[in-house]
C-alpha cells in the first residue's frame, strides 16, 4: 500500500518540520520501492528544476537529524539514505541489503534469519537490540558481462 501524501504531511509536522513540496517529493521518491539513494541520486531523480543540490542536501540532513531517514554505508564510500523502518508503509518490515560489488545495484532482502537474540548476546545485558546486515556479491547481470 502506498503511503498517501497526508501521511507525509503528518510525519513532517510530527518531526517539527515545515511541509514543503520538495520535502514531500523526496519522501515519495524514497518510499517508492523502498529506494536506497545517495544525495546525488535523489537530486538527479527529482524532476529537472525541482530543487538545486544544496536544497536537497539540506533537506536530507534535516531528515536524518530528526530521524526520518537513516544513512546506510555499503562500503563503496557513497552514503545512501533510506526511510527508517517504522516510517515505511504498513506492509514493509525489517530488511537487509544485497549489493552488487560491480554495478552497485541494491536489492532489499525481506527474509531475516536472526529471529532470536543469541544467548551470548543476551548475556551482555543490552535492551532494544537491533541489527544491520548487508550482503555483497556480483549480480547475475555483471557475471554475464564478465
Q: Which residues bind Zn ion (CB under 5 A)?
A: 100, 102-103, 112, 114, 139, 142
Q: In angstroms, give the least distance from the CB of 113 to Zn ion.
A: 7
Please identify, using beta-carbon distances, which residue of 15 and 100 lies nearer to Zn ion: 100
Q: In angstroms, give the least distance from the CB of 89 to Zn ion.
A: 19
Residue whose entry in the numeric block shows the C-alpha cell 560491480? 102
Please identify, using beta-carbon distances, which residue of 2 and 114 lies nearer to Zn ion: 114
From edge to edge, which strands make up the β-sheet containing 37-38? 37-38, 79-83, 69-73
- Alpha-carbon distance of 41 to 20, in angstroms, equals 20
Q: In angstroms, give the least distance from the CB of 32 to Zn ion.
A: 21
Please identify, using beta-carbon distances, which residue of 114 and 121 lies nearer to Zn ion: 114
3-state secondary structure of 128: coil
Q: In angstroms, give the least distance from the CB of 117 to Zn ion.
A: 11
Please identify, using beta-carbon distances, which residue of 19 and 145 lies nearer to Zn ion: 145
Please identify, using beta-carbon distances, which residue of 74 and 139 lies nearer to Zn ion: 139
Contact 9, 18 (CB under 8 A): no
Could you list the beta-strand ranges (E) of the chain.
Answer: 37-38, 69-73, 79-83, 96-100, 106-109, 134-137
- Listed in sequence order, the residues at least 6 apart from 40 whose beta carbon sits closer than 8 Å to its beta carbon are 53
Q: In angstroms, give the least distance from the CB of 139 to Zn ion.
A: 3
Amino acid at each position: 500500500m502506498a503511503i498517501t501524501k497526508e501521511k507525509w504531511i503528518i510525519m513532517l509536522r510530527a518531526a517539527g518540520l515545515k511541509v514543503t513540496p520538495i520535502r514531500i517529493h523526496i519522501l515519495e521518491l524514497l518510499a517508492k520501492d523502498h529506494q536506497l539513494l545517495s544525495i546525488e541520486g535523489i537530486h538527479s531523480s527529482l524532476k529537472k528544476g525541482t530543487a538545486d543540490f544544496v536544497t536537497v542536501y539540506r533537506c536530507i540532513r534535516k531528515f536524518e537529524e530528526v530521524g526520518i531517514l537513516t544513512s546506510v554505508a555499503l562500503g563503496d564510500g557513497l552514503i545512501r539514505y533510506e526511510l527508517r523502518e517504522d516510517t515505511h508503509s504498513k506492509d514493509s518490515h525489517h530488511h537487509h541489503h544485497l549489493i552488487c560489488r560491480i554495478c552497485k545495484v541494491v536489492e532489499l532482502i525481506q527474509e531475516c534469519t536472526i529471529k532470536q537474540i543469541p544467548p551470548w548476546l543476551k548475556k551482555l545485558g543490552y535492551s532494544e537490540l537491533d541489527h544491520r546486515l548487508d550482503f555483497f556479491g556480483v549480480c547475475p547481470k555483471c557475471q554475464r558481462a564478465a
